[in-house]
């Protein structure tokens, strides 16, 4: 139960920051939003990592499941809570934003590019998560939250223009609720994110064969 | 005594940075102020955490009191010093700023939104403080200052537009003195901040039952 | 093999971020690109450092070779993979960027200044790498990725205007492929970078005589 | 000798970054320079801290001398090398900057404000240095470079407008050489910086009485 509360809180503040920092970000949103969002993830990973692992992302939970550090039963609970928290955060953000929420979401210019962007960004994120937070070779470090949060910052600057830069199907859900993304493109976040997370987990297992 | 000196210094530099970085920040204040303020908090937490705990915030002290890591008598001393330091920093900032201090403070567009913003931001901050600096599961880490300071950065980018982004009744006091906030809205910082800190402490206790 | 996979992944995401954050960065590229690139390096060093050392840079590999922490045979493998990964990332970035890739690369205004910039920046980078990741006096620290990645951030802000700020012959190769740098200037990245890395290694050995 | 080489390198790259990031920083210098400069200090502290202590600043050396962690004889060597490195970096920066170096330096608008700014900023810096890098209560941490470097970032955003934000007489010397500051104001960096560092050391000793 305490794990699910923690996943709720972390995911809630991540998606809240996505909505408020982007839609309420004004002219400098291209500069500030990747920092705000990466930092929000970082601080929530540092706050909740010791309780729930600090996933806050269905693709991360999938990667950790493949890596063998969470059971399928627990994963299902995490996924449900992550999606509920994402939707709840989107609703709170919309209340605060008021008429800054656009009436319609723009479709992605290219879903091929969007899919590549979500795949690459989520691959990087889950590769960093598994290596910095679950590998024997980095045990006991103090940098895991910094590494995980700022992966989203770097990937958002690089890839955000092609997919919106969710790298997280829960964030993709929240973005769709808040009209930051078109529902017709939601599958891009789901497929790109989960595929990126799964592939990252297999690469991790190949590169860390002695970790159990 | 050394604890109170440390709380004075940390709160002083935090509120000084709030005033100078916002009112003296020019056109790029929306980009730079959340970084400057979060970083100022981070470095003062790293400098003074081992002496006083590095609260610099009445809402943090309330959260630590509920969590059972400070006595009520010590808390009262902390609160008094934090408020004195905030006022002192505001006066020094006003001296340096000269006519950059506005004659009148604008009232919050919506105190409902302001209250939600202060509650959420302070909840996040105290949740991060208690987990990264007082939990058994994160003992001995080197990241607590980074996590604590950058929570303010993320929340200021996300929520600063609704309440000014104090997340700290002492900062709220300093902002009121410097005409960055209307005295008529001061209760928002007090109520939102203390409620956020208290709720965060109860959630922490629920999620960390074995910590004493 | 797992070392070469890791070097491939880290170098790939570093060069991908260079291309996408610079050529796709719009008006604020001078603010955001040095952060995005330094952060991309940081997170990949934290993810892969425990497997391959996290070089992602032929000049770093040269420095580590001179310092005696990698064999010549392994270095050659690293160099080949770093260059392949750089070219691969450049191709993926060009696919996503489409017509944002310029038709022609501008030549450096001054190759003398470019050479000084690449030498100084790579010297700083390899000096930081060797001291933070291979010295006895800093063993077991959690800051090596932060120090290494942000050296590129600082040096890019300071020196990027003179050479483009690669500090890495692999990045120089990727920049040349993506028309961010003129092929006629490629020797600047090679000579400046490798010389900076080699000199840094000799200075390191002078300053850490008891380290073996 | 290795300590002096390290102090030379660290101070050189710090002052080089000050010159190039400010005078070559273009329109966004108010956003980027405090980050570039703080980060340059951070990475050099992480690289050289285990060799020389990573002072790179006569005011820091004074504070460490008062705190009793360096001898007067060693301090004199540090001071001489720090000033030589500052001048050398200024000359290299001027070579690269060419006609971006202004012909004349503007005098400070108010030397009173400048003196307050240098005193407060250097006090904060030396207070953070002594607590994060020389106190028993924070021994073995990985955050000292982050805390030290980013103190300059925060103070530069807050106080840079009043004094130029050196917080370091060596940087003040370099700024004077590069026409970023008027020679007639050099005493402000010297007096404000050394006084701030000395007072910080006495406050540190008061707050850490059991540290020897």
Position C207 scores a pLDDT of: 92
Most D-contacting residue of C28, C32, C158 (CB-CB within 10 A), to test interface:
C158
Q: Which residues contact B121 (CB under 8 A, 6 or more apart)?
A: B152, B155, B156, B158, B159, B163, B165, B167, B196
Please compute the mean of the pLDDT values over residues B71-94 and round it to a whole number: 98
Contact D154 B6 (CB under 8 A): no
- pLDDT at residue B102 greater than cutoff 90: yes
Q: Given CB atoms, is A157 within the 8 Å cutoff of chain C?
A: yes
8 A C-beta contact, residue A47 and residue B132 = yes
State the average pLDDT for chain C: 97
Position A209 scores a pLDDT of: 85
CA distance C21 to A196: 21
pLDDT band with cut points at 50, 70 and 90 for residue D212: low
Q: Could you read off the pLDDT of A86-124 as tens digits, one per residue?
A: 999 999 999 999 999 999 999 999 999 999 999 999 999
Please compute the mean of the pLDDT values over residues D144-154 and round it to a whole number: 98
Q: Given CB atoms, is B145 within the 8 Å cutoff of chain D?
A: yes
Please compute the mean of the pLDDT values over residues C18-33 and round it to a whole number: 96
Which residue in chain D is spatially nearest to C136 when comparing CA positions?
D50
8 A C-beta contact, residue A135 and residue A208 = yes
Q: Given CB atoms, is C206 within the 8 Å cutoff of chain B?
A: no
Contact D26 C31 (CB under 8 A): no
Contact B132 A25 (CB under 8 A): no
Position C211 scores a pLDDT of: 78
Position C153 scores a pLDDT of: 98
Contact D42 C147 (CB under 8 A): yes
Position A23 scores a pLDDT of: 97
pLDDT band with cut points at 50, 70 and 90 for residue B52: very high
C61-98 burial by CB neighbour count: b if 16+ within 10 A, else e?
A: bbbbbbbeebeeebbebbbebbbbbbbbbbebbbebbe
What are chain C's partners, defined as 3 or more CB pairs within 8 angstroms? A, B, D
State the average pLDDT for chain B: 97
Contact B39 D153 (CB under 8 A): yes
Which residue in chain D is spatially nearest to B35 when comparing CA positions?
D154
Q: Could you read off the pLDDT of C137-180 as tens digits, one per residue?
A: 999 999 999 999 999 999 999 999 999 999 999 999 999 999 99
Residue among C57, C61, C172 nearest C114 (CA): C172
- pLDDT at residue D211 greater than cutoff 90: no
- pLDDT at residue B210 greater than cutoff 90: no
Q: Could you read off the pLDDT of D176-200 as tens digits, one per residue?
A: 999 999 999 999 999 999 999 999 9
In this prediction the ipTM stands at 0.97
Place of tokens 């060693």: D74
Q: Given CB atoms, is B32 within the 8 Å cutoff of chain A?
A: no
8 A C-beta contact, residue B162 and residue A96 = yes
DSSP A212: -
- Nearest-10 crossing angle of helices B186-207, A2-23: 150
Please compute the mean of the pLDDT values over residues D85-113 and round it to a whole number: 96
D91 class by beta-carbon count within 10 Å (0-12 exposed, 13-18 middle, 19+ buried): middle
Place of tokens 């483009």: C164
pLDDT band with cut points at 50, 70 and 90 for residue B98: very high
Position B211 scores a pLDDT of: 78
Nearest to B113 among A16, A21, A96 (CB): A96
CA distance A14 to A57: 10
Contact D142 C137 (CB under 8 A): no
- pLDDT at residue C58 greater than cutoff 70: yes
Per-residue HEC secondary structure of chain D comes to CHHHHHHHHHHHHHHHHHHHHHHCCHHHHHHHHHHHHHHHHHHHHHHHHHHHCCCCCHHHHHHHHHHCCCCHHHHHHHHHHHHHHHHHHHHHHHHHHHHHCCCCCCCCCCHHHHHHHHHHHHHHHHHHHHHHHCCHHHCCCCCHHHHHHHHHHHHHHHHHHHHCCCCCHHHHHHHHHCCCCCHHHHHHHHHHHHHHHHHHHHHHHHHCCCCC
CA distance D44 to D49: 8
- pLDDT at residue B13 greater than cutoff 90: yes
Please compute the mean of the pLDDT values over residues D81-106 and round it to a whole number: 97
Please compute the mean of the pLDDT values over residues D155-168 and round it to a whole number: 97
CA distance C171 to C174: 5
Please compute the mean of the pLDDT values over residues C121-125 and round it to a whole number: 98
8 A C-beta contact, residue C45 and residue C28 = no
- pLDDT at residue B212 greater than cutoff 80: no
Q: Which residues contact D186 (CB under 8 A, 6 or more apart)?
A: D172, D173, D176
Nearest to A207 among C2, C31, C95 (CB): C2
Contact D158 B51 (CB under 8 A): no
- pLDDT at residue C212 greater than cutoff 80: no
8 A C-beta contact, residue A163 and residue A117 = yes
Q: Given CB atoms, is B143 within the 8 Å cutoff of chain D?
A: yes
Contact B158 A32 (CB under 8 A): no
The fold for domain B2-207 equals Glycerol uptake facilitator protein (1.20.1080)
Q: Which residues contact C18 (CB under 8 A, 6 or more apart)?
A: C33, C37, C93, C166, C171, C174, C175, C180
Q: Where are the beta strands (DSSP E) in A46-140?
A: none
- pLDDT at residue D157 greater than cutoff 70: yes
The segments of chain A whose pLDDT lies below 70 read 212
Which residue in chain B is spatially nearest to D30 when comparing CA positions?
B28
Residues of chain D above pLDDT 70, percent: 100
Q: Could you read off the pLDDT of B105-160 as tens digits, one per residue?
A: 999 999 999 999 999 999 999 999 999 999 999 999 999 999 999 999 999 999 99
């Amino acid at each position: 139960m305490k794990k699910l509360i923690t996943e709720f809180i972390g995911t809630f503040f991540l998606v809240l920051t996505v909505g408020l920092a982007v839609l309420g970000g004004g002219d400098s949103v291209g500069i500030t939003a990747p920092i705000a969002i990466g930092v929000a993830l970082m601080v929530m990973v540092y706050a909740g990592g010791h309780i729930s692992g600090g996933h806050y992302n269905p693709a991360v939970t999938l990667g950790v499941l493949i890596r063998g550090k969470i059971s399928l039963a627990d994963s299902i609970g995490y996924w449900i809570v992550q999606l509920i928290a994402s939707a709840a955060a989107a609703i709170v953000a919309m209340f605060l934003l008021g008429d800054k929420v656009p009436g319609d979401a723009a479709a992605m210019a290219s879903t091929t590019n969007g899919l590549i962007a979500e795949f690459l960004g989520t691959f990087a994120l889950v590769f960093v998560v598994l290596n910095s937070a679950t590998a024997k070779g980095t045990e006991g470090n103090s940098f895991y939250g910094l590494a995980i949060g700022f992966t989203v910052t770097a990937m958002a600057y690089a890839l955000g223009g092609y997919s919106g830069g969710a790298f997280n199907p829960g964030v993709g859900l929240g973005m769709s609720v808040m009209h930051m993304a078109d529902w017709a493109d939601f599958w891009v976040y789901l497929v790109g994110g989960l595929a990126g997370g799964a592939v990252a987990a297999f690469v991790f297992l190949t590169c860390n064969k002695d970790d159990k």
